[in-house]
């Protein structure tokens, strides 16, 4: 018989607050067209993107995260000292160690929480949210700060016609804490590593160190392959998340998919047969693809504009490089 004392966590977990930060510089498609042979009409028709935000030198991964986190903490009505863990999802923090989460935790005045980074591409926020839920229910942290942050402008090849217009910068954050009833559903997540070459960094840091590449590494992707995978396979994952939560599309109020491409969003809405009353996040139009930051940024904007409201039931799904994915149903804070 085990002598280990059982964990004393909360019965359930919930998102308590959300915050976002977008860099001050707004970059229209016309700027992108200075380095690629395309048109504003082509970019909009292929992606829905009209503008994106690019960070300045001062708007670092840490700085953007701190701004977004401060808003999330205030929105949740807690103090930084109450945070027991900080999880940062990013692929654009260029120091292998230490984790940027430790710097963010310190500058927020959180005391001595668990702090670590995860790398799960555009599904990173979903991965972090799932880990945070487990911590709260297990009892290792009462409140967890989950951050999705990217400076993808640092990893964009402005001469690559397939990707130059896609990426933006920003940070989104949420506070996950205890709940008396289910507010974060079961997560449907996974990976398909046999498709890892469809979205990847052009060169390894090792190769760059050794002087082989003639330019800084960037993110590249096979657009059509990614599009087909996202449209056909991720709609199935989204449906599985609805089933796992015990609801149907008719029960949804809001749909917040990863903001990769508006054509993908439209196709998923059609495949899932979402009713007209469901509000669909389309933050991609003015924010671009911000990878791990895209879902919390879209969530924050919907709540700020009143397009979504506290207590709404939302389906969130992230998918991208790996290829990895994560979907769950949540109650909005």
Catalytic position from the list 29, 93, 261, 289? 289
Whether the CB-CB separation of 116 and 103 falls below 8 Å is answered with no
> How far apart, in Å, do the first and last CA atoms of the chain sit?
41
Distance CA(288)–CA(23), nearest Å, equals 12
261 as an active site residue: the answer is no
Q: Is 193 left (phi over 0), alpha (psi -120 to 50) or beta?
A: alpha
Q: 26: which 2 tokens?
A: 């707004």
Helices within 163-293 (DSSP H only)? 205-209, 223-245, 262-272, 284-287
29 as an active site residue: the answer is no
289 as an active site residue: the answer is yes
The strand order across the sheet containing 12-21 reads: 12-21, 169-179, 143-151, 83-89, 114-118
Count the Cβ atoms, other than its own, within 10 Å of residue 181: 8
Catalytic position from the list 29, 122, 159, 277? 122
Catalytic position from the list 29, 53, 93, 258? 258
Distance CA(43)–CA(6), nearest Å, equals 55
- Would you name the residues annotated as active-site residues? 122, 258, 289
């Amino acid at each position: 018989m085990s002598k280990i004392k059982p964990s004393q966590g909360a019965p359930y977990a919930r998102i308590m607050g959300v915050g976002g930060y977008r860099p001050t510089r707004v970059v229209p498609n016309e700027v992108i067209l200075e380095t690629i042979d395309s048109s504003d009409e082509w970019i909009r028709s292929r992606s829905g993107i009209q503008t994106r935000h690019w960070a300045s030198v001062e708007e670092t991964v840490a700085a953007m995260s701190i701004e977004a986190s401060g808003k999330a903490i205030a929105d949740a009505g807690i103090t930084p000292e109450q945070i027991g863990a900080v999880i940062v999802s990013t692929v654009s923090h260029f120091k292998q160690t230490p984790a940027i989460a430790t710097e963010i935790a310190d500058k927020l005045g959180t005391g001595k929480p668990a702090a670590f980074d995860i790398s799960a591409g555009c599904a990173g926020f979903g991965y972090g949210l799932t880990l945070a839920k487990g911590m709260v229910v297990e009892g290792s942290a009462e409140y967890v700060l989950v951050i999705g942050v990217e400076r993808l402008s640092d990893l964009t090849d402005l001469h690559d016609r397939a990707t130059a217009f896609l990426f933006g910068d920003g940070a989104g954050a949420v506070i996950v804490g205890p709940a008396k009833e289910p507010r974060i559903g079961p997560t449907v997540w996974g990976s398909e590593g046999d498709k890892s070459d469809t979205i990847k960094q052009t060169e390894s840091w090792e190769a760059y160190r050794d002087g082989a590449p003639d330019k800084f590494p960037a993110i590249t992707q096979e657009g059509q392959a990614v599009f087909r995978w996202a449209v056909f396979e991720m709609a199935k994952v989204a449906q599985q998340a609805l089933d796992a939560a015990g609801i149907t599309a008719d029960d949804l109020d809001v749909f917040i998919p990863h903001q990769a491409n508006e054509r993908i969003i439209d196709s998923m809405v059609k495949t899932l047969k979402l009713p007209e009353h469901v509000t669909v996040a389309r933050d991609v139009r003015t924010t671009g693809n911000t990878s791990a930051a895209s879902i919390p940024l879209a969530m924050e904007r919907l709540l700020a504009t009143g397009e979504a409201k506290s207590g709404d039931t939302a389906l969130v799904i992230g998918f991208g490089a790996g290829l990895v994915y994560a979907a769950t149903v949540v109650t909005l804070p």
